[in-house]
Structures are given as C-alpha cells and as structure tokens.
Amino acid sequence: MSGEPSKTPDLIGHETAEKHFLESWNSGRLPHAWLISGEEGSGKATLAFRIARFVLFQGNENSKRQEKGDLFGKSIRPKSLYIAPDNPIFRRVASEGHTDLKILKRTINSSNGKIRNSIAVEDVRLCGNFLRLTSAEAGWRVLIIDSVDELTISAANALLKILEEPPNDALILIVCHNPYLILPTIKSRCCQLSLKPLESERIRSFLSTTLPNINPSDIEALTILSNGSPGRALKIIEEEGLILLKELVMLISNFPKISTADLHDFGEKLAKNGAENKFKLTMNLFNSWLAYLIKEAASNTQKPKPMFPEESGCGIRIVRAAGVEFLIQLWKDINLVSEKTLRQNLDRKQAFLTMLYHLNDPAFDK
C-alpha cells in the first residue's frame, strides 16, 4: 500500500464525510470550496485526492455524453467516490499530470535546495489564474491545497479573495490540520468536512492487514500512539518512531537512576544536521507515552498498564515517584519547548536533556 495520498485508492473510515460530499454532488448544488480538517494522518489529503479523481472522472464522462449528443439521457447518481487504480484518471492524478488539477503545497527553495517553511502568496495567485481558465477536458478545474495551515498571512488573504469570487466550475479542496488557527473568513466560505479519529478496533484491523509481519504488542502500541489516525501509525513505522520511543523508554527504565551519559548519546542523535523530524517525532511520541501513563494512572489507581513490554515497569515507577500532577506539567512543558526549539532553531540536544533531567530529580527517589 502506498502512503502517498495521491496514489491511495481507498480511505479507511470517514463514510459520513464521503456521504456528505456525494449528496451535494448528486443534488446538483455543489459548493465551490471544501475545508477538510482532522488530525495529522487522519486521511484528509487522501479524501481530497479521492474527491478530485471522482469529480474529474464524472466531468469527463459528462463531456463524452455531450459529444455523443446524449443530452437528455438518464443521469446516473454515483454511490461512491471510488475510482479504480487502473483508470486513466487515477493514474494521471497520481502522477500530478492531469491538466485540470493543480496541487498547492510547499515548494523547494532554489537558493538552498530545501523545502520552504510556508506557501507564498505568489503561488496562491497562480492558482487563482489556473482556476479562471476554461477546463481542458473534464468540465471542472480542481485545486487541492495541502495545507492551508502553511500559508503565509499574505497567501491566506489571497486565497480569501479567490473564495470571495469563485470562478465557475472550479472546485477548491482545502486540507487543514488545525481549523482554529486559520482565518474565520476562510472557514465561513467553505463547506466543512471534519474527519473524526477512528475507533481502536478499526486501527488494529488496518495495521494487521497492512503490516502482516508486525508483532501483536507493536500493533497495540501503534494503536494507542496513532490517536485514531491510520496515517500517523504508518508514519511512526516508516520513520522508525516506535524504535526511537522504545530506545528512549529503555534509557529511563532504571528510573530514578537514569544514566546521564546514555541520555547525552541519545540527544546527539536528535541534534544532528537534518534530524529535525527525528527530534519532533521522538518528543511527540514520548509525550504521547506520558499522556498514556497519565490516563492509565487516573483510571487504574496508579498502576498503569505498559504500552509495550520494553518498559520494564518504569512507567509505574515514574507515576508513583513523580505523581500525576507533575507528569501533566512535564507533558505541557515538552509540547512548548519542542515547538519553540524547532521554530527558533534552538539546540535540540539541550532541549531534549532539559526535559529529561526533570525525571532525574533526586526528590523522586522514594
């Protein structure tokens, strides 16, 4: 299974969102802009490409009927957004080669060869020009924005102008990770599709099918860490996040006697050039592990069930020694420090050590 949304034919769950779009399509009154929101890895971009393929295919079929003079033939109401991978439309969308589809995302900075941190206003304006062109073949022009969270302020205002004066037969699919942080005026001009986290059983079933060689204990850990998002679970595996988390937890498994030298060595890995994503993922997963300890402690009288066997009981010792209130504060601090470290390009090793040293406080040695 490909992890790329443009090449993924199926979408796990989210039948309600698909039904909403289909009902609008079949009614003949399709809103020109859709805001697709949800947790990272929940399937937002996959749904956007699924909708894009569907619209381009349906538009192509309508064009064929018009060419044949079949203007009054019986209209077929589609019951699914699914387009088979062997369909030419699917292949062209997957290769980003369809003339009626444009994808707006961060581009590579030619001066340093790195991906830009944001989407520039010039790129949004080019998309406006694209949408105003007459469709080359499908009757529709489709724009996918992945994601609106990465627009600069100027770019967001340029998008708002497009939404205020939408061209005819133009469909704008906007991927959004955090709808609370975007301009309210953008939200108000979009029909919203909110993707909810999947139930744990669906995540387990998905992982068992997709990763048949993975052991059951890892499936359980990934189910917890995924937060109901199949894409997040796959990303954790692909980027060896579970291995990193286990390694870190094993380093503190002798809590409260944590080896400073071992933590320094681990911190070095997170501070290397190009290891920004590794740092972000490690801190994020460690925080998810802390959140799991807090939840388990609150519901199981401070006897948390291990997330994975490699914990060696350190979770229980940390909860008993530090207490839930301290762990909640540590969880908050890690979120803030991780975000600040990446945003301001601070010393990642120092940020990591600062957070972990809290667990080595002699006051916890009870």
| pLDDT, tens digit, 9 for 90 and up, residues 127-186 | 999 999 999 886 899 999 999 999 999 999 999 999 999 999 999 999 999 999 899 999
Does 283 have pLDDT greater than 60? yes
Output the average pLDDT for the chain: 89
Confidence of residue 5 (pLDDT cuts 50, 70, 90): very high
Does 266 have pLDDT greater than 50? yes
The pLDDT score that the predictor gives to residue 41 is 87
CA distance 86 to 109: 34
The pLDDT score that the predictor gives to residue 70 is 52
Does 300 have pLDDT greater than 70? no
The pLDDT score that the predictor gives to residue 75 is 61
3-state class of 323 per DSSP? coil
CA distance 75 to 89: 21
Does 200 have pLDDT greater than 50? yes
Mean pLDDT of 108-117: 81
Confidence of residue 305 (pLDDT cuts 50, 70, 90): confident
pLDDT over 70 percentage in the chain = 92
The pLDDT score that the predictor gives to residue 345 is 86
The pLDDT score that the predictor gives to residue 356 is 81
When comparing pLDDT for 179 and 321, which is higher?
179
Does 302 have pLDDT greater than 60? no
Burial environment of residue 297 by CB neighbours within 10 A (0 to 12, 13 to 18, 19 or more):
buried
When comparing pLDDT for 34 and 324, which is higher?
34
The pLDDT score that the predictor gives to residue 40 is 85
**Lowest-pLDDT range of 141-150, 262-271, 323-332:** 323-332
Confidence of residue 363 (pLDDT cuts 50, 70, 90): very low
Mean pLDDT of 238-255: 91
The pLDDT score that the predictor gives to residue 115 is 82
Does 361 have pLDDT greater than 70? no
Tokens 């290769």 correspond to 95
Instruction: State the Rg of the chain over Cα.
Output: 24
252, 257, 261, 267: CA torsion to nearest 10: 30
Query: Phi and psi of 350, rounded to 5°?
Result: -65, -40
Instruction: Please give the full DSSP string across 15-69, using - where no structure is assigned.
Output: HHHHHHHHHHHHHT---SEEEEEESTTSSHHHHHHHHHHHHHHHHHHHHHHHHTT
Does 9 have pLDDT greater than 90? yes
The pLDDT score that the predictor gives to residue 344 is 87
The pLDDT score that the predictor gives to residue 362 is 44
The pLDDT score that the predictor gives to residue 366 is 44
Does 364 have pLDDT greater than 50? no
C-alpha distance across the termini of the chain, in Å: 49
Does 303 have pLDDT greater than 70? no
